């Protein structure tokens, strides 16, 4: 891990390293898995050093933190993170020059770990896009969260069997296009087969559905390729297609509501497309009305970066990574 740097502020007079990088070992980072991996390391190291000025930014770049745009020097990420890296999950698209990374991080003097997720696009050796999210607890995501379990769970995804049958790029692109489409089936009109041991996680945690009344099984849920699912006609598909590891990263905007959950101290984000689940929560609330304090159901929008892993002709992992904003929100990446 990078050395922990505390109470260090960047020099405002340090010149930005935008423009061509001085490292000429790889003139086109988009064609090199190692170069993209090194770029992610540079980003994480700069966060720990509280100095975004060391990064090779393009003359014009796009960047967001928790769905809102800002220059890197104005982001919380470069002010608070004191320990980060290496990534627990790294997906690299050498065709598009993009990468997705996820890991637990520490902020300030706290031993509490939070979760950092990010997507970067590189042209030549310059960063042209950087999309970051920090989830600090379950309320940011609206359901499940575990920074402590994240490294072990993501390790499984980063160590697929050596003798696996790797998917084609066309196969992964078809799955990406189907994820938030009206039809959940790929262009081939065949359903996606799901492996028996497919890992289903949300922000580091293997999902356990405690049920409306808290009496469901405590066993982790498996993956389902659903016929009914949230849709987004403006979904950003093929953000990262990692043919080597079988990873797909797709982004969609999901409207829904935050409801009180089985334990009255908890709440959960339920997409509007999941009408049966919302109706079950309303029925549960009506039963308890007036007996306990409960959160009023409130509209929200889930900015989703969903990760799938596919090889051996089957879905091997599904990660639903969400950051919640207010109702009616959209993605600045659509502008």
Structural domain includes residue 17: no
Judgement on whether residues 122 and 64 belong to the same structural domain of the protein: yes
Question: What does the pLDDT look like over 279-301, one tens digit per residue?
Answer: 999 999 999 888 888 899 999 99
C-alpha to C-alpha distances, 177 to 180, 184, 232, 252, nearest whole angstrom: 7, 9, 11, 11
Question: What residues of the chain score a pLDDT lower than 50?
Answer: 1-26
Judgement on whether residues 132 and 146 belong to the same structural domain of the protein: no
C-alpha to C-alpha distances, 103 to 166, 172, 329, nearest whole angstrom: 25, 24, 26
* pLDDT for position 265: 79
Structural domain includes residue 23: no
Judgement on whether residues 126 and 157 belong to the same structural domain of the protein: no
Tokens of 171: 């196969």
Structural domain includes residue 34: yes
Judgement on whether residues 130 and 217 belong to the same structural domain of the protein: no
Residues forming a β-bridge with 249? 240, 307
Judgement on whether residues 39 and 163 belong to the same structural domain of the protein: no
* pLDDT for position 1: 40
Domain tally, the chain:
2
Tokens of 55: 């990064």
Q: Are 122 and 136 contacting, i.e. CB atoms less than 8 angstroms apart? A: no
Judgement on whether residues 144 and 131 belong to the same structural domain of the protein: no
Residues whose CB falls within 8 Å of the CB of residue 178, separated by 6 or more in sequence, listed in order: 184, 185, 186, 187, 192
Judgement on whether residues 221 and 244 belong to the same structural domain of the protein: yes
Residues forming a β-bridge with 301? 255, 325
* pLDDT for position 143: 81
* pLDDT for position 25: 47
Structural domain includes residue 61: yes
Q: What are the start-end ranges of the H helices in 134-236?
A: 138-141, 150-157, 169-179
Judgement on whether residues 131 and 156 belong to the same structural domain of the protein: no
Structural domain includes residue 64: yes
* pLDDT for position 23: 43
Judgement on whether residues 69 and 213 belong to the same structural domain of the protein: no
* pLDDT for position 214: 59
What's the pTM? 0.89
Q: Which of 119, 136, 153 is the last residue of a domain?
A: 136
Intra-chain end-to-end CA distance of the chain, in Å? 36
Phi, psi of 84 (to 5 degrees): -160, 140
Alpha carbons 105 and 87: distance in angstroms, whole number: 10
> Strand pairing of 57-65 and 126-135?
parallel
Structural domain includes residue 44: yes
Q: Which of 136, 160, 177 is the last residue of a domain?
A: 136
Specify the CATH number for the domain of residue 64.
Answer: 3.10.450.50
* pLDDT for position 241: 98
Judgement on whether residues 128 and 148 belong to the same structural domain of the protein: no
Q: Which of 92, 116, 136 is the last residue of a domain?
A: 136
Q: Which residues constitute the domain of residue 77?
A: 29-136
Judgement on whether residues 229 and 242 belong to the same structural domain of the protein: yes
Judgement on whether residues 90 and 40 belong to the same structural domain of the protein: yes
Alpha carbons 306 and 91: distance in angstroms, whole number: 12
Alpha carbons 169 and 159: distance in angstroms, whole number: 20
Structural domain includes residue 187: yes
């Amino acid at each position: 891990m990078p050395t922990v740097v505390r109470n260090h502020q960047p020099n405002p007079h340090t010149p930005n390293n935008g423009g061509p990088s001085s490292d000429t070992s790889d003139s086109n980072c988009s064609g090199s898995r190692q170069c993209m991996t090194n770029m992610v390391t540079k980003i994480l190291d700069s966060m720990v050093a509280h100095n975004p000025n060391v990064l090779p930014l393009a003359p014009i770049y796009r960047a967001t933190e928790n769905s809102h745009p800002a220059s890197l020097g104005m982001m919380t990420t470069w002010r608070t993170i004191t320990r980060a890296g290496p990534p627990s999950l790294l997906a690299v698209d050498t065709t598009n020059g993009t990468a997705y990374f996820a890991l637990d991080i520490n902020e300030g003097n706290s031993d509490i770990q939070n979760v950092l997720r990010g997507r970067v696009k590189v042209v030549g050796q310059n960063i042209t896009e950087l999309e970051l999210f920090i989830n600090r607890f379950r309320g940011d995501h609206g359901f499940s969260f575990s920074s402590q379990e994240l490294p072990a769970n993501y390790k499984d995804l980063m160590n697929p069997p050596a003798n696996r049958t790797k998917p084609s790029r066309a196969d992964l692109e078809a799955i990406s296009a189907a994820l938030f489409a009206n039809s959940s089936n790929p262009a081939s009109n065949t359903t996606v087969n799901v492996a028996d041991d497919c890992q289903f996680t949300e922000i580091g945690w293997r999902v356990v559905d405690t049920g409306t009344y808290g009496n469901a099984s405590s066993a982790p849920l498996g993956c389902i390729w659903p016929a009914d699912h949230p849709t987004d006609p403006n979904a950003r598909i093929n953000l990262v297609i990692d043919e080597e590891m079988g990873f797909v990263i797709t982004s969609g905007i999901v409207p829904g509501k935050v409801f009180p959950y089985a334990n009255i101290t908890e709440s959960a984000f339920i997409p509007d497309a999941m009408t049966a689940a919302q109706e079950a929560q309303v029925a549960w609330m009506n039963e308890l009305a007036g007996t306990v304090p409960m959160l009023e159901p409130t509209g929200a929008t889930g900015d989703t970066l969903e990760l799938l892993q596919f090889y051996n002709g089957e879905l091997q992992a599904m990660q639903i990574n969400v950051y919640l904003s207010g109702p009616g929100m959209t993605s600045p990446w659509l502008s």
